[in-house]
Structure 1
Amino acid sequence: MPSFSKVFESTKNLYVRLALVILVALVAVAVAYKPMVLPEANPVVQSQDISEITKLAANKNRLEYLLLANPLSNFPRYVFKYKDAPQIHVVKVPSTSHINLEREVLLKNAIPYAIAQEEFLNAHKEVLHDPEADSSAAVEIGGFLARNAIGLLLLVAMFIGLRKHLPGMGGSSASVVKPENLKGSMDDLVGMEDIKAEVAHLEEMIANRDLYRSHNIDKPFNVMLTGPAGTGKTKLAGYLAKKLDIPLIQASGSGLESGFVGGGAKALNAIYKKACAQGRCIIFLDEAQSLFMPRGRGDKKWDDDTANTLLGLLDGIKSDQGAGVIWVVASNFDDASMQMDEAMLRRFAVKINFRLPNKAERRELINVFLSRKDVECVDWGNLNLDYVAEITANLSPALLETVVDRASMIAIQEKVLITTDVLFRAFERASIGLTDRATTAEKNKERERVALHELGHFFMQIDPYVRLGMSWDEVKAKSNLLKISTESVSKIGALGYVLSAQHDVSLRTLEELEQDVIQLYGGVAAEELFYGARGISTGSHNDIQKVTSLLDTMVNRLSMYSHSKLDYSQLKHEGAAEEAMRQVEAKADELYNRTLEAMKAYKDLIGVLAGTLLERYVLSKDEVFALLAELTEPRRKAA
């Protein structure tokens, strides 16, 4: 077996060496520990035998001196020396015994004594020294170490682990990825030509630093990537490092903080030092929106340490070694959607804003994701990619890939090929969650109410087109309905839902926002139409929450109903709040009454469709409009 010294010398890790030393020390103490007794420099004999004091009466003539040390303490000491012996005797007695001894032995036998002075005690420190206490403490320490040796070792191991793996404790765990180990390329960014152009410009800037120096531009080309989650910011950082043939170090902004003061700053410095050692390198800081928030928000001065450290590192002020380091920092928000620190924003020469893909790009993305599967897994002849791209509006590339992967899971489970229907169900599962019929199977009253409620939403959605006199085919073309369901959704706690396609355009007019409110009010209005004002259920809670938020935005934030265009939410005084509340209530009353009045025209159709919906649980868009055409055809012929 190799000796400890050989094992110790062969181990290079400082923490492992420390653990070995502690282990050997604990084992040594646990196996054999001895009471720790101070060495006696003088011939002092310690005792607690009271009989030695009673013997003084018979040996009074032999006494050279008798002293009392600490007579007022809990344990006074009798210190005496015989003329014919070199030892100094110290007898420790309890204070209660001392009183009796002093009266019955010393005074009764006229034995002379004095109080020990400081000079004597300083010259004979052993007089007050308590070897039994030392021995007891040694026994306790040794026993504690022996009993807890394993626990102490685990504690040491945990501390070493914390120093290695917690940000700000023993450095950063961010690893360096060489360019040859990075996967993918810029070609994997489907569409997004505007973003690709920005990246190409960035590559040109980095590759031609001398040209930019001739224009007196010598700052580091720090890059800010902003945009919704799942749009490819993380992948682009890897693509850029691979294209430039330089290493990449990736860390998470939210993962920098360790809970220790200065932990985030220390982790950033460790990452920067690691990047400097590479020469040319990209540091990619993901999910860093918290670092962009204005500083000085908290009362504690160390709250902004991490952001302040990042500001300095972005400037490259640490040393010339960082001249080849490029910071790429990603955030899910930009300065238009949240307030950002101005000093931080100025540090970035390049800002690339990612966006959600448009319909053509979604179609191409879905096609790419499906093409990566084996040919026999997809029924290309029964696949309408235009329809799938239309219903998946406002989904990021990452969510689109999730939908395609979910379609594969459904296809494998059901032993079928991937078709339009399978992709639709995958989209529904990804956006809504798991649905079931068992929850409401025996609740006929609840299912009837849910059917009426959901149909109310649908008819208020198509009401503007019906009022224009359009045919059902024309209304169908305009409607974004996908399906109406009375299946329960555990994810949102709903007993039914109307699934509709979204719009790519995010700008909304006042008229469109009011129509959104009316559509949301459609459910509760249908309940009131069939059950009366006192028959409205709690199922409208989520709809009313959305209406309140919309009306707050329309009235208070956008001032859509006021000639003075002000953001009333910024006016904090009480009068403004009361006036805003009155405006919101008045507009809510107006729009709900308009909804209730419009709903009356569809009462008969809702009643018939509700019966069919209860039987089938689900009605697709095609089925809904086929039923509407069938129900209204006799009326048209009669007319």
Structure 2
Amino acid sequence: MANQKPKKKLDPKKPKFSAYWIYAAIIIIFLGLNLFGDGGFSEPAKTNPAEFKDYLSNGDIEKVEIINRNQARVYLTSEAKEKEIHKKNIEPGFLSTGDSPTYTFQFGDLQNFENDINEIKKENNLNTVVTYDTSSDVIGELFWALLPFILIIGVWIFIMRKMSSGAGGGAGGQIFNIGKSKAKLFDQNTDVKTSFKDVAGLEGAKEEVQEIVDFLKQPEKYTALGGKIPKGALLVGPPGTGKTLLAKAVAGEAKVPFFSLSGSDFVEMFVGVGASRVRDLFKQAKEKSPSIIFIDEIDAIGRARGKSNFSGSNDERENTLNQLLTEMDGFGTNTNVIVIAATNRADVLDKALMRAGRFDRQIYVDLPDLNERKEIFEVHLGPLKKVADELDTEFLAKQTPGFSGADIANVCNEAALIAARKGNKAVGKQDFLDAVDRIVGGLEKKNKIITPSEKKAIAFHEAGHATVSWMLEHAAPLVKVTIVPRGQSLGAAWYLPEERLIVRPEQMLDEMCAALGGRAAEKVIFNKISTGALSDLEKVTKQARAMVTIYGLNDAVGNITYYDSSGQSEYNFTKPYSEKTSELIDKEISNLIEEQYKRAIDLLEHNKDKLSQLAEILLDKEVIFKDDLEKIFGKRPFDKEIAETKPVKKKNSLPVENGQDIKSSDGKDTDEEGELTENDSVNK
């Protein structure tokens, strides 16, 4: 590349040739011939047969020219041109000649007109000359004859120009470029400011893609030892973890042509368009090699073949995938084109796409840990103009377990909006805590109408969660409890759990017991239960089912898992176990939940006075914190320092799903236990 001769730059002052110049010249010539063909702009004056007879009787007319048997052109004598009556009609026009008619008029029957002329000539003894001529607009007739051919040729040229152009001009040109790639090109002339410094955390993923960038910059460093450039890298991870941001950083760092597009850009309603766009994309990339192609959300075209095609018809997505497989590793493959793809659905991708030689590297982009969240906060706090001095990024990182990079960016933005709404001069610690509550739980609804009895039931429900979690060793430590309605929930309890890499049965059982503490409190205090525990029940049912059917943590079922990491089970119509086993699974799930429910009731029965005291404080303040519980229960004996380490990917692990804000079947708002866990979806 360094030995290439610099291209000649076109002189900006020199006008570029355009085909439209030819069209303009043709139009000007045509107008000129029409305007100047019959004596220029000098047109004879209009008269009528009566005035003509007067002029003829006076001897003013030298010649009469009869055109096409219905029009007369009148030429005056030199003496008549000096008369005042004619002077105003014989003023010379633009490009006019001396021998030009002064008057013209239309007449009726030629025979009667000739008789009138002969009679006047005879009476006045005149020698006026009468001539005959025929005239035709040759150019006009030729133009009308050629007009259909001109239109056809013009339309044909327009279509050819559109089909040969690289990009369609709007909706009209798009039909002719339907098979063209929609990839956006970034090169060294494009202003891409994102670099690896803007990507906080993701150290392992950055190392992998940094090596690809280095290979493109210094290929001889690797080829000297016989290494080959990788064909592709697949970024896999949950939404919002920075996969697309990492690709933007590659575009900013690589300094080579970078084609960016989404997997859905290949999909079109016309058959064969997707494959055509794949061919066109790789053709452009090979012409500009070495280059990088980035395909975001590749699962739109990379789904495993044959899974969803029940009709047996020709599937456009399969054709697109087949073409992509051929282009990435087939005959005539150009090794100087690297494909980077991103997806959060790696389980549905085709095995042929995932093999080495196509995507040599699969880079897992996980949710950030404590240290990485701290770095991400520092990046996103930079754009905020005024931040309080006492703000501690480590504290913020501890308050946001399970948050992705996109969620942290949203927290910073929400905190700035909340501070502006309050009229603060700087974004403070409380603004960030309110932003976390806003994102996790939803907007506060202080004007929601709640009866005193309902409010009391909600207070004891939330106090039950807090009391049981305080008494259990492996339950998450409490942050705060509120009975202010937020989002769809009528109350919430916020916890800050350990970020565990593995979870043991006793830990899961303690979490289930704490989740059932709300319903247990209603049973202990009122001897009644309500629909407010719907989200709690959903959460513990999922956890119990996971223990029995996924993790093999139940003695009766044994060390068996029915979890399918390949995703094939979702297309099966039969269960992977017998009816007898199904009954056993249902029984064990029910036993697990009921045991923890009874355990929660026993704990609350022994601490009924403290539960009531906590509920009364909650009814009075509406929001209570960890300090309030310490005043009632004393110091929690299970608190300990959490040693945080980098997360390690376990291939066959499945996170325990936690509760979500949902509504009960009767349409009433349900209560939520607003846990912040490492596996929680932030948009609860």
Give the TM-score normalised by the residue count of structure 1: 0.65
Uncovered stretches (5+) of structure 1, i.e. residues with no partner: 11-158, 467-477, 631-639
Query: Does the aligned pair in 1 maintain the 2:181–2:281 contact within 8 Å?
Result: yes
1:416-565 aligned at under 5 Å gives the runs 416=424, 417-440=426-449, 442-465=450-473, 480-490=477-487, 493-532=488-527, 535-562=528-555, 564-565=558-559
1:212 positional shift: 5.6
Query: Does the aligned pair in 2 maintain the 1:167–1:257 contact within 8 Å?
Result: no
C-alpha change, 1:581 and 1:531, in structure 2 (3 Å) is same
Query: Does the aligned pair in 2 maintain the 1:164–1:171 contact within 8 Å?
Result: no
1:491-510 per-position Cα deviation (integer Å, ceiling 9, x unaligned) = xx211111222432242111
Aligned partner of 1:401 among 385, 388, 409:
409
The aligned amino acid for 1:361 is E
RMSD, aligned CA = 3.0
Query: Does the aligned pair in 1 maintain the 2:463–2:611 contact within 8 Å?
Result: yes
1:444-483 per-position Cα deviation (integer Å, ceiling 9, x unaligned) = 11111111111111122121249xxxxxxxxxxx953221
1:339 positional shift: 5.2
Distance in 2 separating the partners of 1:167 and 1:502: 58
Aligned partner of 1:330 among 317, 342, 346:
342
The aligned amino acid for 1:427 is V
Distance in 1 separating the partners of 2:604 and 2:384: 48
The aligned amino acid for 2:486 is V
C-alpha change, 1:9 and 1:274, in structure 2 (3 Å) is farther
Query: Does the aligned pair in 1 maintain the 2:231–2:335 contact within 8 Å?
Result: no
Query: Does the aligned pair in 2 maintain the 1:226–1:352 contact within 8 Å?
Result: yes
More helix by share: 1
C-alpha change, 1:628 and 1:576, in structure 2 (3 Å) is closer
1:39-85 per-position Cα deviation (integer Å, ceiling 9, x unaligned) = xxxxxxxxxxxxxxxxxxxxxxxxxxxxxxxxxxxxxxxxxxxxxxx
Distance in 2 separating the partners of 1:164 and 1:402: 39
Query: Does the aligned pair in 2 maintain the 1:168–1:265 contact within 8 Å?
Result: no
1:222 is aligned to 232
1:152 is aligned to none
The aligned amino acid for 2:370 is K
1:363 is aligned to 374
1:92-491 aligned at under 5 Å gives the runs 169-179=178-188, 180-207=190-217, 209=219, 218=228, 221-297=231-307, 298-299=309-310, 300=312, 301-302=314-315, 303-315=317-329, 317=331, 319=332, 322-334=334-346, 338=347, 340-346=349-355, 347-374=358-385, 377-380=386-389, 382-416=390-424, 417-440=426-449, 442-465=450-473, 480-490=477-487
C-alpha change, 1:479 and 1:215, in structure 2 (3 Å) is closer
1:46 is aligned to none
1:347-367 per-position Cα deviation (integer Å, ceiling 9, x unaligned) = 211222212222122223212
1:388 positional shift: 1.2
The answer on 1:598 being equivalent to 2:598 is no
Distance in 1 separating the partners of 2:464 and 2:250: 51
Distance in 1 separating the partners of 2:548 and 2:408: 35
2:35 is aligned to none
C-alpha change, 1:254 and 1:572, in structure 2 (3 Å) is farther
Distance in 1 separating the partners of 2:192 and 2:176: 24
Query: Does the aligned pair in 1 maintain the 2:476–2:498 contact within 8 Å?
Result: no
The aligned amino acid for 2:480 is K
Distance in 2 separating the partners of 1:543 and 1:272: 51
1:525 positional shift: 0.9
C-alpha change, 1:163 and 1:221, in structure 2 (3 Å) is farther
Q: Which has the higher contact order (CA 8 A, sep 6+)?
A: 2
C-alpha change, 1:610 and 1:165, in structure 2 (3 Å) is farther
Which piece of structure 1 moves more, 193-202 or 578-587?
193-202
Distance in 2 separating the partners of 1:378 and 1:623: 30
Distance in 2 separating the partners of 1:610 and 1:275: 66
2:626 is aligned to 621
Larger radius of gyration: 2
Distance in 2 separating the partners of 1:515 and 1:8: 85
The aligned amino acid for 2:435 is A
1:284 positional shift: 0.7
C-alpha change, 1:292 and 1:516, in structure 2 (3 Å) is farther
Query: Does the aligned pair in 1 maintain the 2:180–2:276 contact within 8 Å?
Result: yes
C-alpha change, 1:395 and 1:558, in structure 2 (3 Å) is same
Distance in 2 separating the partners of 1:420 and 1:213: 52
1:195 positional shift: 2.5
Task: Describe the SS at the equivalent of 1:439.
Answer: coil
Uncovered stretches (5+) of structure 2, i.e. residues with no partner: 1-18, 25-167, 564-574, 636-684
Task: Describe the SS at the equivalent of 1:438.
Answer: coil
1:64 is aligned to none
Distance in 2 separating the partners of 1:594 and 1:264: 59
Distance in 2 separating the partners of 1:437 and 1:489: 8
Distance in 1 separating the partners of 2:212 and 2:623: 51
C-alpha change, 1:593 and 1:259, in structure 2 (3 Å) is farther
Figure out how many residues of one structure are paired with residues of the other and give that number: 454
The answer on 1:582 being equivalent to 2:582 is no
1:281 positional shift: 2.1
Distance in 2 separating the partners of 1:304 and 1:500: 46
Query: Does the aligned pair in 1 maintain the 2:235–2:364 contact within 8 Å?
Result: yes
C-alpha change, 1:160 and 1:210, in structure 2 (3 Å) is closer
Query: Does the aligned pair in 2 maintain the 1:456–1:599 contact within 8 Å?
Result: yes
Task: Describe the SS at the equivalent of 1:488.
Answer: coil
Task: Describe the SS at the equivalent of 2:516.
Answer: helix
Query: Does the aligned pair in 1 maintain the 2:325–2:353 contact within 8 Å?
Result: yes
1:443 positional shift: 1.6
Query: Does the aligned pair in 2 maintain the 1:483–1:619 contact within 8 Å?
Result: yes
The aligned amino acid for 2:534 is H
2:49 is aligned to none
Give the TM-score normalised by the residue count of structure 2: 0.61
Distance in 1 separating the partners of 2:393 and 2:628: 21
C-alpha change, 1:167 and 1:183, in structure 2 (3 Å) is farther
Task: Describe the SS at the equivalent of 1:328.
Answer: strand
Distance in 2 separating the partners of 1:401 and 1:497: 24
Query: Does the aligned pair in 2 maintain the 1:167–1:255 contact within 8 Å?
Result: no
Identity %: 27
1:608-630 per-position Cα deviation (integer Å, ceiling 9, x unaligned) = 22122122221123334345459
Which piece of structure 1 moves more, 302-311 or 215-224?
215-224
2:612 is aligned to 607
Task: Describe the SS at the equivalent of 1:181.
Answer: coil
1:509-562 per-position Cα deviation (integer Å, ceiling 9, x unaligned) = 111111111111111111111222xx2111111111111111111012222123
The aligned amino acid for 1:573 is S
The aligned amino acid for 1:222 is G
